[in-house]
C-alpha cells in the first residue's frame, strides 16, 4: 500500500500530469479572452485552446509510453476536457456567439456530460465499467473542432469568411451525436443495473 502511494505521489509531478494541470490552468485564461471580445484576444484564446487540445493527446500518449499512468491522471484528464468545453460554451452564450435555437445544442452537450458522468460514478460503485464507444470518440472530435472554430470567432472569419458558421454547424452535429451516444450509454448502464444488479434500485 505504501509503495503504491509513493508511486502515485511520484507520478503526480510526471510530465503527463503536468500537461493536464496546464490544460486546467488555461481554462480561465481562454474564457477571459473570449469574454474580452477583441480580435487579438480571440487569437490568444484560439492558440491556448489548440495547445490544450494537442496536450490532451500528448499527455495520454506519454503516460502510456513511459508507464506513468496513474489514478490521478485518469481522474483529471476527462475533467480537464469537460471543464474546457463547458466553460467555453457558457462564455459563447454570454457573448452571444451562440444564441436562439443554437443554445439548445449547448444545453444538450452540457446535460449529457453531467448525466453520463453521474452514471459512470454510480456504476463505479457497482464495479461496472462503461467503455467509451467509437462513435463517442467521433462526437468528442466534432465537439472539439466546433468549439475551436467558435473560439477563433471574428479572428477566424477575418481570414476565412464563414469560419463561425462552420463552428455552429459542427456544434449541432456534435449535439446530435451527443444525444445518440448519451442514449446508448444510458441503455447500456441501465441494462447492467437492472439485469446484473437487480437490487441496485432498492
pLDDT computed for residue 76 by the predictor: 80
In percent, how much of the chain has pLDDT > 70?
84
49 within 8 A of 148, measured Cβ to Cβ: yes
Q: Is the pLDDT of residue 194 over 50?
A: yes
Task: Give the tens place of pLDDT for each residue, 123-178.
Answer: 766 666 666 678 877 888 888 899 999 999 888 888 888 889 999 999 999 999 98
Mean pLDDT, all residues of the chain: 82
Would the pLDDT of 18 be above 70? yes
**pLDDT at res. 5:** 45
DSSP 96: T
Q: Which pLDDT score, from 0 to 100, does residue 36 have?
A: 92
pLDDT of 119 over the 60 cut: yes
Residue 103 has pLDDT above 90, yes or no: yes
Cell 476536457 sits on residue: 81
Topology annotation, domain 2-196: 1.20.120
Q: How far apart are the C-alpha atoms of 5 and 103, rounded to whole Å? A: 44
Spatial separation of the C-alpha atoms in residues 202 and 9, rounded to whole Å: 38
Per cent of the chain over pLDDT 90 is 35
Cα–Cα distance between 59 and 159 in angstroms, integer?
Answer: 31
Q: What is the pLDDT of residue 70?
A: 76
Q: How far is CA 18 from CA 105, 174, 176, in A?
A: 32, 29, 33
In this structure, of 25-39, 51-65, 77-91, 161-175, the range with the lowest mean pLDDT score is 51-65
CA distances from 71 to 4, 6, 24, 51, 200 (A): 11, 13, 17, 24, 26
Query: For position 46, what pLDDT does the model report?
Result: 94
Cβ-count burial of 195 within 10 angstroms (0-12 exposed, 13-18 middle, 19+ buried)?
A: exposed
Contact 52, 109 (CB under 8 A): no
All three cell numbers of 169, joined, read 454547424
Confidence of residue 9 (pLDDT cuts 50, 70, 90): low
* Residue, of 198 and 52, whose pLDDT is higher: 52
Domain ranges of the chain: 2-196
Amino acid at each position: 500500500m505504501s509503495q503504491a502511494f509513493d508511486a502515485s505521489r511520484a507520478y503526480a509531478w510526471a510530465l503527463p500530469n503536468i500537461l493536464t494541470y496546464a490544460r486546467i490552468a488555461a481554462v480561465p485564461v481562454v474564457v477571459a479572452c473570449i469574454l474580452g471580445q477583441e480580435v487579438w484576444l480571440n487569437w490568444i484564446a484560439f492558440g491556448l485552446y489548440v495547445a490544450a487540445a494537442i496536450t490532451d493527446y500528448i499527455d495520454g500518449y506519454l503516460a502510456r509510453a513511459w508507464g506513468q499512468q496513474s489514478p490521478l491522471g485518469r481522474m483529471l484528464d476527462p475533467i480537464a476536457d469537460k471543464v474546457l468545453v463547458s466553460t467555453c460554451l457558457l462564455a459563447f452564450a454570454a457573448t452571444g456567439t451562440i444564441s436562439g435555437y443554437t443554445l439548445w445544442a449547448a444545453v444538450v452537450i452540457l446535460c449529457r456530460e453531467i448525466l453520463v458522468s453521474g452514471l459512470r460514478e454510480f456504476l463505479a460503485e457497482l464495479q461496472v465499467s462503461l467503455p467509451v464507444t467509437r462513435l463517442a470518440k467521433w462526437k468528442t472530435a466534432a465537439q472539439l473542432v466546433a468549439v475551436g472554430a467558435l473560439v477563433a470567432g471574428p479572428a477566424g472569419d477575418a481570414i476565412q469568411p464563414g469560419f463561425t458558421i462552420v463552428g455552429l454547424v459542427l456544434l449541432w452535429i456534435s449535439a446530435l451525436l451527443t444525444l445518440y451516444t448519451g442514449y446508448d450509454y444510458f441503455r447500456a448502464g441501465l441494462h447492467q443495473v437492472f439485469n446484473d444488479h437487480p437490487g441496485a434500485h432498492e
